[in-house]
Amino acid sequence: MPEPTSLSENRPSMLARLMAGIAEHAPNVTAGPIDDTLNPDEPGHPEYHRRQRAEFALTRWTAAVPYRYQDATATHPAITAWADRAADDPRAAGFLVLTGTIGTGKTHQAYGALRRIAETGPRRFEMLATTAPDLYGRLRPGGSDKGTEHELKRLCQIPLLLLDDLGTEKLSEWTEEATYRLINDRYNQCLPLIVTTNFPVRDPDGAPDLVTRLGDRLASRLAQAATVVHLDGPDLRRTFRSAG
């Protein structure tokens, strides 16, 4: 007794009949070229996904930046070069220390550097910005519901950290030790750090500097691992008020 067969085994598929009909009625027609070039505006293209990451990163940047600095843009060549290195390979960028007197645009340039990193569309963008006084307030007993060690660990591990106005805090053995732990941990982990300060890292003429303010151990770490950029000029805050 012969084996049963199904209809699909005896009859060509609909697609096969369609293709056979086309071949019979148009034997000289061949398939045209297929354009499978990736479009930068469509999913699948690297540029499309970079733009998506950049949009997400800029949203995070905007949420972390004070309103006054929402238009911050890095313009100094050394600062933009550091930001590009940090975007390309964060662990190879080192620290960025911006020195200069009050009102020379250090904070603006610092936030601008973080914005430039966000605009590249990094695969991971997390940042935290704080002033030195706020930092110590957070690390003091009772300064955080989660505890001092939790806050310090977060500051040590955040991918991008801005420490603004370093050296303006009241000096004490505790502030020196807390700052050293933070900077030394980021130094050992090769994580980027941006510092702004009114003091030079080291002053050859013996004027107040970060060595006298924070101790030689800390200044040594900054000097060894940092790109130091000095910003000078008039107090921009006074200039803008005068122009108004």
Question: The dihedral of CA 42, 45, 50, 56: what is its sign?
Answer: positive
Q: What is the mean pLDDT of residues 14-42?
A: 69
In the structure encoding, which two tokens stand for residue 221, read together? Answer: 């770490």
DSSP secondary structure string for all residues of 133-191: HHHHHHHSTTS-TT-HHHHHHHHHHSSEEEEESTT-SPP-HHHHHHHHHHHHHHHHHT-
CA distances from 104 to 110, 129, 150, 205, 212 (A): 12, 19, 34, 22, 22
pLDDT at 7 over 70: no
User: What confidence tens digit (pLDDT) does each residue in 76-105 have?
Assistant: 999 999 999 999 999 999 999 999 989 899
Predicted pLDDT of residue 213: 77
Q: What is the mean pLDDT of residues 178-185?
A: 90
User: What confidence tens digit (pLDDT) does each residue in 203-236 have?
Assistant: 777 777 777 777 777 777 777 788 999 998 655 5
Query: Of 194, 177, 187, which Cα lies nearest the Cα of 139?
Result: 177
Q: Angle at the Cα of 136 (from 186 to 202), degrees rounded to 5?
A: 60
Query: Across the chain, what does the average pLDDT equal?
Result: 84
Alpha carbon distance, N-terminus to C-terminus of the chain: 103
Most trustworthy range by pLDDT among 5-19, 56-70, 130-144: 56-70
Q: Angle at the Cα of 240 (from 234 to 244), degrees rounded to 5?
A: 145
- DSSP lists the bridge partners of residue 130 as 163
- Between these two residues, 108 and 148, which has the higher pLDDT value? 108
Q: Rounding to the nearest 10 degrees, give the CA dihedral for residues 17, 18, 23, 25.
A: 110
Let me know if 84 is exposed, middle or buried by CB neighbors in 10 A (0-12, 13-18, 19+).
middle
- DSSP lists the bridge partners of residue 61 as none
In the structure encoding, which two tokens stand for residue 74, read together? Answer: 């890095």
Report which DSSP code applies to 71. T
